[in-house]
Amino acid sequence: MSLPMPAAVSASEPRIRVMIVDDAVVVRGLMSRWLSEEKDIEVVGIFRNGREAVDNVIRAKPDVVILDVDMPELDGLAALPLLLARRPDLIIIMASTLTRRNAEISLKALSLGATDYIAKPETNREVTVSPSFRRDIIDRIRQLGRRRTAAARPRKEARPGTLPHAEFEDSHAHPPVQLRPFPPVSPRVLAIGSSTGGPQALQVLLRGLAPVMPRLPVLITQHMPPMFTTILAEHMSRICGGRAHEAVHGEEIKPGYVYIAPGDRHMKVERKSSTAHIVLDDGPPVHFCKPAVDPFFTSAAAAFGPGLLGIVLTGMGVDGASGASVIASAGGAVIVQDEKTSVVWGMPGAAAQTGQCSAVLPIDDIAPRIIKLIHGDRS
């Protein structure tokens, strides 16, 4: 597995300043070495607990903090609000091993203002030999840390009839977004793909869909490891009145239920006669992701055709873009979250640039638009 190429750094674009907070000396040393090898990243602080981080955050002026969950004196969850009180615009990435407790803490941290989370290998030895962990750390820092400079960059005026272009994760220029009309068929199934920032966006979306939830099934692929998807499903179930759960291989897809792809399995859809069923696939990662959105969208489009509405929410990378095109080719529709309300406009931006999407909307406006479509209003 190859690591991404370091980003080019221009004289006008400062390096991303990173603070590492972890009680394990091996983890601190490895992260510091990895990040110091990246030309666009600068390590400005290395601390062993949350108290030291809080005491030094003003002096160090980090853009991004990698914050361990379990630490002595002051753990990550307790340090989080104190760090944000001193630096409200700080990007904080929670780091924890794959236990149920840590998954619960990491998802709670997102609700308290953390930007993202990352699953650490369970032992220090596994950390030293895990290229995927190194890649994930660097990717998250790079993509999230660029948000501040991207937001300050001047925008180009869009041509009439198009949406303004967005600055993507790689900071390259892209043409304005072209939209296609909504198809005449009202949606009968929702397929949602999300990644970084997805848990928060999913909560907003599912709450907004409450009036129509009994009328159609909702299937979700969120980039998450095992255990995290279990906790996510429990959180979504509370929002949906007990109707959300991790998908089970072979189960029938029914209206009124929310099916969430389990971590480390691709979720696909297979139609048998008049009914559609969940298929869990243990195939290789797609776009370094498992579960991945593209195979999910592609199979759902084959199963549901024009009755499928695909939703691409906030997330890094391009997963979901080719699947969105497949949905459109099958006669379905695609809505993507807009850049302003996305934590990262990678996945939705890539899908929007295919020209196969029918709307680019703020997260608060997606559920109302879906409800209108279900009622036959395609304006």
What are the structural domains, with CATH classification, of the chain? 16-150 (3.40.50.2300), 189-374 (3.40.50.180)
What pLDDT digit, counting tens, does each position of 88-126 carry? 999 999 998 888 888 899 999 999 999 999 988 877 777
Give the tokens for residue 306.
């024009």
Instruction: Note the pLDDT of residue 7.
Output: 44
**Residue 338 known to be catalytic:** no
**Residue 136 known to be catalytic:** no
Contact 179, 336 (CB under 8 A): no
Q: How far apart are CA 116 and CA 95, in angstroms?
A: 9
User: From first to last of its 379 residues, what are the pLDDT tens digits of the chain?
Assistant: 333 344 445 556 789 999 999 999 999 999 999 999 999 999 999 999 999 999 999 999 999 999 999 999 999 999 999 999 999 999 999 998 888 888 899 999 999 999 999 988 877 777 777 788 899 999 999 999 987 555 545 444 444 444 444 334 444 455 688 999 999 999 999 999 999 999 999 999 999 999 999 999 999 999 999 999 999 999 999 999 889 999 999 999 999 999 999 999 999 999 988 899 999 999 999 999 999 999 999 999 999 999 999 999 999 999 999 999 999 999 999 999 999 999 999 999 999 999 999 999 999 999 999 999 999 988 7
Instruction: Note the pLDDT of residue 379.
Output: 77
Please classify residue 12 by burial: count the beta carbons closer than 10 Å to its beta carbon, then call 0-12 exposed, 13-18 middle and 19+ buried: exposed
**Residue 322 known to be catalytic:** no
Q: How far apart are CA 150 and CA 261, in angstroms?
A: 32
User: Hey, CA dihedral for 97, 294, 313, 369, is it positive or negative?
Assistant: negative
What pLDDT digit, counting tens, does each position of 262-318 carry? 999 999 999 988 899 999 999 999 999 999 999 999 999 999 999 999 999 999 999
Which one is catalytic: 116, 136, 319, 338? 319
| Residue that is written with structure tokens 């990173």 in the block | 18
- pTM over 0.75? The answer is yes
Which one is catalytic: 96, 106, 186, 195? 195
Which one is catalytic: 40, 186, 223, 287? 223
